[in-house]
Structure 1
Amino acid sequence: MTRLQQRLGSQSFTVLLVLLFSTINWVIGASPKEDFCRRFEHQSTVIDDKLYIDGGTVNYKDFPSSHENHDNTWLGYHDLNDLVSIKGELWPNFKLGLSKNNSIPTVSGGVLWPDSVNKRFYLYGGEHMSGFPKRSYRILSYDILNDQWDDFGEPDTSPAPEIAGFGAGVGVSETGMGYYYGGWVSNKSMNGWSRDKTMSSNFYSYSYDTRKFDRMISPDDQPRAEGGMVWIPAGDTSGVLVYMGGLVSPYDNGTTAPQPLDEIFVYDAQDNRWAKQKAVGEIPQHRRRFCVDAAWAPDKSSFNIYLWGGHSIYPPVTNVTSYSDIYVLTLPSFQWVKAFPGTSGNATLTENGKYGSSCNMVKNMSQFIVIGGNYTDSPTDKCDDEWWGAHNLWTGTFQNAGNNNDKWWALFNSDVDTNVVPKIVYDVVGGTKDGGATVKQPKNGYDSGNTLLSMLMTRTASPPQRTPTREVSTPSPGTGGSSKLGTGAIAGIVVGCAVALGIIAFAWWRVGKVVVRRRDERRQREMEQYAQRRVQQQAQEQAHLNPHQSFYENSTVGTVSPNAPSTQWAAPGSHNGSGGLRPQLEPSELPAYNQGIGILNNKPPRSPPGHPLL
């Protein structure tokens, strides 16, 4: 390397290195980990203490000046048991490199249905980030154990499902079911869609174990989108779903209106029926594209749904804004309580408000992690990069003490894995942080016609334990700390290495040309010097033979006198045919000399066939 620098010059060598590494960086591109600014409209899920993040939009650290959005084509995860220090504070490490090639769509507004029993999750719905779907929807599943995607084909149902984005989805590992309700159907979500973008009223289910895809009965015929849905273990064996908020099209003319958050829809998954119940308390303002997830008391006497953020809806809000508050809907009392900020009432908090986040309960519902979100209030170009856009809320207040109404947001703690009821909830429903709720129905009773719902909410669901449908004892190469790279990462490295090798080959060719040129120049000088020495030697010999005549008289330098002896060239030490030794060449490192090739009439020798570049 030192000789190379000396031959090229240090400045040229530095330029070469800068060009090389700049090209590699350009090929590989920015990283959602190393160059992160913020993310939104993605989908996420949790399996075995790993929080997976897929799709959506990502901004890199140049976003405040470039204002460029990028498709998040990476599949990554937060390892909740591998904490790293960031600015002196511990946070779950964010890891990339899981397999995801171009055959797997990158979407926003979809859902990841988790199946923790079989160690996989399914991707359903969403709008394609770039271009349009090139084929009909296929059930795609990421296999955690083998770090690969499996294609289970098109849904076996007729008519084919209308694939939507920004609906409400939830997957339930306990029952082996995935659900998706409403959303927007367009040519960005569904192949072959030729009509205008429209809101859907369809409700679909998918069985992980039987691979059966079904269209189920909807709450009504009114299309809805951008709301939220969770599962809770209430009612019969299959539990119940709870849907709320977002947009509704009540007039069958394409116009939209807010779906009030005091109207709660409950789906009985066992008997395939819906009910609508009025909620009371500190009702959140109308919003869409918020995120929700549920936790429940240790004794399941109350089920508590946490709602974060969201985008304002017109009407009644006339100015575009987003929210940064936390509300809790507690069932079966159907009461809203405000958790953050601690001021009572339904006044909203918009400072640092975001929409398009994802929310996940982790560590046995002890903590609630909010991932990402987009800002609507000034400055809209600020980064959310402290912990790769993730923030932690304690479901039972700080360290799950259960009695602190002011301390909700705090650092994640991987050692805490028990859930308690927060004081703001058990102050309303009775009991303690460990459960024992005494309020078992809404304050004003169940709405008319909800007799079955009132019976359902008095029961606790205990789904039968599922068994894996495949071998799951193999350690996970994708999430067990392995350094195995995904297909996308490998492809990027291969392309980058190919470009780098091309640059190196070009540089080496240039170096070779410089070395050969300088060697030829040096050889030319040496040959000229040798020729002159031979001329001088011959002149001395001639003067010795005829001391009265100088070799230089009546001659030109480089011209041999007719009386001078012949100087044929041969290998050192060979005979000249007259019995004497031929003149011996000086030693040289050049291959031409070693092969006995000389100079005639001061011209450099031609390299023999096969002469090497260096």
Structure 2
Amino acid sequence: MLAPVVAILSLWVLSTAGDSNLDPIKNYCKRLYHQSAVKSGKLYIDGGLEIFTPKNDYGTAEGGEILGYNEWLITLDMQYSWDWETSNFSMNALNITADPTTGTKPANLISGALYAGAPDDSKIYLYGGTTSFLNESFPGFEWPDSAQYALWSFDTDDQTWSQYDVSLNVPYKPAGGAYAEAADQGLAFYLNGWLDNGTSNAFENEYNFLKYLDGMVAVNTNTQQARNLSTSSLNNSPRVKGALAYIPGVSSKGILVAMGGVTKPTSDSSLDNEGTYVSFDSVDIFDIASMDGAWYNQPVSGDIPGPRTDFCVVTVSAPDNSSHNIYLYGGQGANNLYDDVYVLSLPSFRWIKMYQGESPRYGHTCHLVGNKQMLTVGGDASEDLMSGCDWEEYGVAILDMSSMVWGHIYHALDGEYQVPTKIYNVIGGDGQGNAHQMKPTGGFSNDQIAQFFNETASTGSGKSTTPSSSTSSKISGGAIAGAVVGSVIAAGLIAALILYLIRRQRKQQKNTNPPSSPPTTTETAEAPPDYKPARLDGAFFRNRGQAVELTSQQVSALTELGISNPAMLHEMDGRPRGPAELPDTRPADVFTTKSGKN
């Protein structure tokens, strides 16, 4: 979507970006494709593209905007209430420092992930990301670093950065993937993503290089170890620029819900190849308790959002846990920029449109803060990066998810979340929860998903998808916090108990006598035929230098990576080039790590 901007900006930006006295807060115009996390009463913002507005000594804008990068770790105090328009708004920029043991600094990245880590861990964690080549003459521009250290931490207590080598099981540094974390378990997840010439110094001069990645990376933030989980049973995989939501209290350790994004192009070795938007008429579910790579597809109903990328999601549950509501905000489609909010309510699996505005936003992040508020961070309202500044003066806004009112005031001591009227008018109940609709309209697509919500699968019209890599004996049957509470009569409780005992007995029988062959997978819902193809933004990728002839060994190594035209590489302006990275062939069943100098 940003590719047309490059030609327009190339001469003007390069001639004006020599000013190194640009403050990321005082000279803020807009920021997007950054990474952010909320930890111990603070918001942390890392990396991203930033547009700066030069100002004179009196704070008045002076000159045109400058395209560059956020070179700092920006913090915003969330311990106290604030109003970014008037008072008590404490935002600061911290210098990025080197790992004291290696002398290496974390790279300046876009499209990665920042994780909060476990509550008793003082660190936040940066994973993945890619280098933007939009303005190589900007003072803060940095060439890509090695993919060996895809994981970094920042200790919020002693303000130090540390790097970790997780390449034994995860040999690449991905970008553009969907991400979520189960912070209560010290687990972080990164789904699919891509490699390009900004993700590693081994690729930085490779012409038009883009490779989609299979698998989901699981990072244990308590031990700084990683493993790669198969996504062979995931529909529309690999995909990029979608979202992943963590739902605690479902199954024994929570589930992940994947939605949206763009699928792998027909041939992914070039940006000229196009993929397709993933429809929101179904979502994919991963059971954290199993950690076996099995995904389950569930069709959904209701007011289904238009296909899009670069949106954000946050999850909040009803006070009684009878519904779990995933709020989706903004994004961009093939020909649309969105300013809307939808909710996907579980276990009814109903989409409900909550808000429609006229100020679109994409490339932003968002977080649940203060019990019921969605904090949005950064983003842009136009495909033209130089079209003007963000009307949100500091790049943050607040949505009260109970009243559905936007504002600039954050309430640190806000009350508990109440289910909005628009939601319980659809699924039943009230502000406290008490949801009536506890199954999808067409029923659960299979027994596994039904068991996550302590229900039974319907024999109705729901489409069924059972991953071939799993059997029913792998599914946890623990207590699920999605049952109807408060208004269930005694007879219903007795019936539920009987059903539970029957299911448990059947499960024990299946464990004793496992099936001789795994279940088959049926076809899942496809995007409507009128969906337009989607592609990644060529503006992020570098295309320079002259083609050079490679040795047969180099060609062989790059061919193993799936590069369809390995001869089309570009010279490195005299800089030494490291060896091409090879795909990992080791099993991904053990967390492992080692540390060392980059």
TM-score using structure 2 length:
0.64
Once the two structures are TM-superposed, the CA of residue 425 in structure 1 deviates from its matched residue by 1.1
- Say if 2:29 is the partner of 1:37: yes
Alignment of 1:177-216 (within 5 A): 177-193=187-203, 196-216=209-229
Deviations 1:355-377 (CA, angstroms, capped at 9, x unpaired): 1001111113x100111112226
Once the two structures are TM-superposed, the CA of residue 445 in structure 1 deviates from its matched residue by 0.6
Match of 2:144 in 1: 133
SS of the aligned residue for 1:453 comes to helix
Match of 1:235 in 2: 250
Q: Look up the equivalent residue of 1:356 and give its one-letter code.
A: G
Q: Look up the equivalent residue of 2:124 and give its one-letter code.
A: F
Match of 1:164 in 2: 174
Q: Look up the equivalent residue of 1:331 and give its one-letter code.
A: L
On the 8 A contact 2:122/2:157 being kept in 1, the answer is: yes
SS of the aligned residue for 1:454 comes to helix
Deviations 1:272-297 (CA, angstroms, capped at 9, x unpaired): 32101111111111100111111111
SS of the aligned residue for 1:95 comes to strand
One of 252, 265, 275 as aligned partner of 2:284 = 265
SS of the aligned residue for 2:422 comes to helix
SS of the aligned residue for 2:94 comes to coil
One of 439, 443, 447 as aligned partner of 1:445 = 443
Match of 1:391 in 2: 397
One of 86, 102, 105 as aligned partner of 1:103 = 105
- Say if 2:312 is the partner of 1:286: no
Once the two structures are TM-superposed, the CA of residue 397 in structure 1 deviates from its matched residue by 1.0
Query: Do the aligned partners of residues 379 and 211 (structure 1) sit closer, same or farther apart at CA in structure 2, a change above 3 Å counting?
Result: closer
The structure with the largest helix share of the pair is 1
Query: Do the aligned partners of residues 443 and 205 (structure 1) sit closer, same or farther apart at CA in structure 2, a change above 3 Å counting?
Result: same
SS of the aligned residue for 1:375 comes to coil
Query: Do the aligned partners of residues 432 and 58 (structure 1) sit closer, same or farther apart at CA in structure 2, a change above 3 Å counting?
Result: same
Q: Look up the equivalent residue of 1:167 and give its one-letter code.
A: G
Match of 2:166 in 1: 155
Q: Look up the equivalent residue of 2:322 and give its one-letter code.
A: S
Match of 2:76 in 1: 78
SS of the aligned residue for 1:69 comes to strand
Q: Which moved more, 1:187-196 or 1:266-275?
A: 187-196
Once the two structures are TM-superposed, the CA of residue 337 in structure 1 deviates from its matched residue by 0.6
SS of the aligned residue for 2:339 comes to coil
SS of the aligned residue for 1:433 comes to coil
For residues 91 and 454 of structure 1, the distance between their equivalents in structure 2, rounded to whole angstroms, comes to: 47
Taking only the aligned residue pairs, the percentage that are identical comes to 27
Q: Look up the equivalent residue of 2:376 and give its one-letter code.
A: V
Once the two structures are TM-superposed, the CA of residue 205 in structure 1 deviates from its matched residue by 0.4
Which ranges of structure 1 fall in alignment gaps of 5 or more residues? 1-25, 314-318, 342-348, 399-406, 463-614
On the 8 A contact 1:267/1:274 being kept in 2, the answer is: yes
Alignment of 1:495-534 (within 5 A): none
Query: Do the aligned partners of residues 389 and 240 (structure 1) sit closer, same or farther apart at CA in structure 2, a change above 3 Å counting?
Result: same
Query: Do the aligned partners of residues 394 and 413 (structure 1) sit closer, same or farther apart at CA in structure 2, a change above 3 Å counting?
Result: same
SS of the aligned residue for 1:360 comes to strand
On the 8 A contact 1:64/1:382 being kept in 2, the answer is: no
Match of 1:382 in 2: 388
One of 412, 415, 432 as aligned partner of 2:413 = 415
Query: Do the aligned partners of residues 392 and 381 (structure 1) sit closer, same or farther apart at CA in structure 2, a change above 3 Å counting?
Result: same
Query: Do the aligned partners of residues 440 and 206 (structure 1) sit closer, same or farther apart at CA in structure 2, a change above 3 Å counting?
Result: same
Q: Which moved more, 1:253-262 or 1:325-334?
A: 253-262
For residues 73 and 384 of structure 2, the distance between their equivalents in structure 1, rounded to whole angstroms, comes to: 30
Larger Rg: 1
Q: Which moved more, 1:431-440 or 1:184-193?
A: 184-193
Match of 2:422 in 1: 424
Query: Do the aligned partners of residues 322 and 150 (structure 1) sit closer, same or farther apart at CA in structure 2, a change above 3 Å counting?
Result: same
Q: Look up the equivalent residue of 1:143 and give its one-letter code.
A: D
SS of the aligned residue for 2:425 comes to helix
Query: Do the aligned partners of residues 85 and 180 (structure 1) sit closer, same or farther apart at CA in structure 2, a change above 3 Å counting?
Result: closer
Deviations 1:493-538 (CA, angstroms, capped at 9, x unpaired): xxxxxxxxxxxxxxxxxxxxxxxxxxxxxxxxxxxxxxxxxxxxxx
Match of 1:372 in 2: 378
- Say if 2:237 is the partner of 1:222: yes
Query: Do the aligned partners of residues 92 and 266 (structure 1) sit closer, same or farther apart at CA in structure 2, a change above 3 Å counting?
Result: farther
SS of the aligned residue for 1:206 comes to strand
One of 18, 30, 51 as aligned partner of 2:43 = 51
SS of the aligned residue for 2:162 comes to strand
- Aligned Cα root-mean-square deviation (Å): 2.5
For residues 130 and 167 of structure 2, the distance between their equivalents in structure 1, rounded to whole angstroms, comes to: 22
Query: Do the aligned partners of residues 52 and 280 (structure 1) sit closer, same or farther apart at CA in structure 2, a change above 3 Å counting?
Result: same
For residues 455 and 128 of structure 1, the distance between their equivalents in structure 2, rounded to whole angstroms, comes to: 43
Which ranges of structure 2 fall in alignment gaps of 5 or more residues? 1-17, 55-60, 99-103, 133-140, 455-478, 483-598
Deviations 1:266-323 (CA, angstroms, capped at 9, x unpaired): 111111321011111111111001111111112211111111111112xxxxx3x311
On the 8 A contact 1:261/1:283 being kept in 2, the answer is: yes
Q: Name the count of aligned residue pairs.
A: 409
Match of 2:123 in 1: 120
Match of 2:52 in 1: 60
For residues 380 and 66 of structure 1, the distance between their equivalents in structure 2, rounded to whole angstroms, comes to: 9
Match of 1:434 in 2: 432
Query: Do the aligned partners of residues 312 and 67 (structure 1) sit closer, same or farther apart at CA in structure 2, a change above 3 Å counting?
Result: farther
Deviations 1:88-133 (CA, angstroms, capped at 9, x unpaired): x346421222544571111111001111321211100111234543
On the 8 A contact 1:359/1:371 being kept in 2, the answer is: yes
Query: Do the aligned partners of residues 326 and 161 (structure 1) sit closer, same or farther apart at CA in structure 2, a change above 3 Å counting?
Result: same
For residues 216 and 316 of structure 2, the distance between their equivalents in structure 1, rounded to whole angstroms, comes to: 24
Query: Do the aligned partners of residues 461 and 299 (structure 1) sit closer, same or farther apart at CA in structure 2, a change above 3 Å counting?
Result: closer
Once the two structures are TM-superposed, the CA of residue 28 in structure 1 deviates from its matched residue by 6.5
Query: Do the aligned partners of residues 185 and 431 (structure 1) sit closer, same or farther apart at CA in structure 2, a change above 3 Å counting?
Result: same
Once the two structures are TM-superposed, the CA of residue 66 in structure 1 deviates from its matched residue by 2.8
Q: Which has the higher contact order (CA 8 A, sep 6+)?
A: 2
